[in-house]
Amino acid sequence: MAVNYSAKDEADGHPSGGVGVPGGGAVGGGSGGAVKTRKPDNTAFKQQRLPAWQPILTAGTVLPAFFIIGLIFIPIGIGIFVTSNNIREYEIDYTGTEPSSPCNKCLNVSWDSTSPCTCIINFTLEHSFESNVFMYYGLSNFYQNHRRYVKSRDDSQLNGDNSSLLNPSKECEPYRTNEDKPIAPCGAIANSMFNDTLELYRIDNDTVTPITLIKKGIAWWTDKNVKFRNPTGDGNNLTALFQGTTKPVNWPKPVYMLDTEPDNNGFINEDFIVWMRTAALPTFRKLYRLIERKNNLQPTLQAGKYSLHIGYNYPVHSFDGRKRMILSTISWMGGKNPFLGIAYITVGSICFFLGVVLLIIHHKYGNRNTSADIPN
């Protein structure tokens, strides 16, 4: 076998001559087919000739960066922290585990309880709540983020699909049917809906005045108008629309009796919609009611004595959970959350401290002659 190379072929990385094989002919001959080559194309990308930029970290660039970050982050953090501290918030734990709690008598309430248990907690607001007040209910040790719990729903049914209403998704098992009737709404999320009732009263010289609690406007607009819809048909007769279905196992009444107002009943009930948006953490709060400010001359909730009337229906003692009622105002950054301000202050302080340390090191050792002295 003979192999012939030319100077040009060597430069191109392949032979021009053929390779002799027994029986005559040649493989890869100059006059044969196209010659295969593994040489990359002569482009800037494949030959790695693209322009590149690499920062050169020197004391003149690193030190100002640390100081600038520190001087920007610290004031921002202080502003966020002060704003968060200016938000009024009052919280009442009404679980009733303590023997002295007014709700201790309701601690062992269950889903099967027929008679409602009520308790009253008196409290005092030391400071007035100036702007609109948001009333939340809070739960602890309740894992709404469990995978099977999150999947236990039928979004087509909740969106008003008539076929899904009578034939719910299998994801709703074991809360898909009851007594051979489809459950509406089906699934574990709907079955465990929060159903305590909270009423707020102001006590002024032995005069008890109810505080107006607004139950509309607490759900996301997209949830209320897009994701949740009642079945198609006569919207004024929800009883007929939900005919052939049954209520969730733990509910005291069917879904078409959640409210007396047609635009807040059935699947579009806002308390139901708020509950169906699952929480990411086991300790969470959900918006329950709104208290709007009536005029700019008086605060929404004046400092003084109040009483909270609770319809204790939701059992949490079996899983060591806790229940809370929270009154809170908001600011441009939302509810009370000091973590963001503390995080900004911490990062800014660390950067400023590192800048000072590196400046001292540079001032002390930066101008030292690096050339070694050769002894005589």
What's the mean pLDDT in 131-159? Answer: 96
Q: Looking at residue 39, what is its pLDDT? A: 87
How many Å apart are CA 24 and CA 2, to the nearest integer?
Answer: 12
Amino acid in the structure at residue 236: N
Task: Single out the residue of 292, 314, 144, 316 nearest to residue 218, CA to CA.
Answer: 292
Confidence of residue 20 (pLDDT cuts 50, 70, 90): very low
The pLDDT of residue 11? 45
pLDDT tens digits, one per residue of 179-201 = 999 999 999 999 999 999 999 99
pLDDT value for 8: 44
Q: DSSP characters for 130-141? A: -S-EEEEEEEES
Task: Evaluate whether 50 touches 44 at the Cβ level (below 8 Å).
Answer: yes
For residue 64, pLDDT over 80 is answered with yes
Tens-digit pLDDT profile for residues 200-228: 999 998 899 999 999 999 999 999 999 99
**Does the pTM of the predicted model rise above 0.85?**
no
SS3 47: coil
pLDDT band for 367, please (50, 70, 90 cuts).
Answer: low
Q: CA–CA separation, 128 vs 126, rounded Å?
A: 7
Per-residue model confidence (pLDDT) at position 290 = 97
pLDDT at 315 over 50: yes
Query: For residues 146 and 337, is the Cβ–Cβ distance under 8 A?
Result: no
Smallest Cα–Cα separation from 337: which of 348, 350, 328?
Answer: 328
| Mean pLDDT of all residues in 125-133 | 93
Say what the pLDDT of residue 33 is: 61
Distance of alpha carbon 262 from alpha carbon 264, whole angstroms: 5
pLDDT of 16 > 60? The answer is no
Which band of pLDDT confidence, cut at 50, 70 and 90, is reported for residue 14? very low
What average pLDDT is seen over the chain?
88
Strands (E), 42-113: 89-93
d(CA 101, CA 120): 10
Give the start-to-end residue ranges of the domains of the chain: 60-87+338-364, 89-330
Q: Write out the two tokens for 278.
A: 């699952």
Q: CA-CA distance, 219 to 272, in Å (whole number)?
A: 9
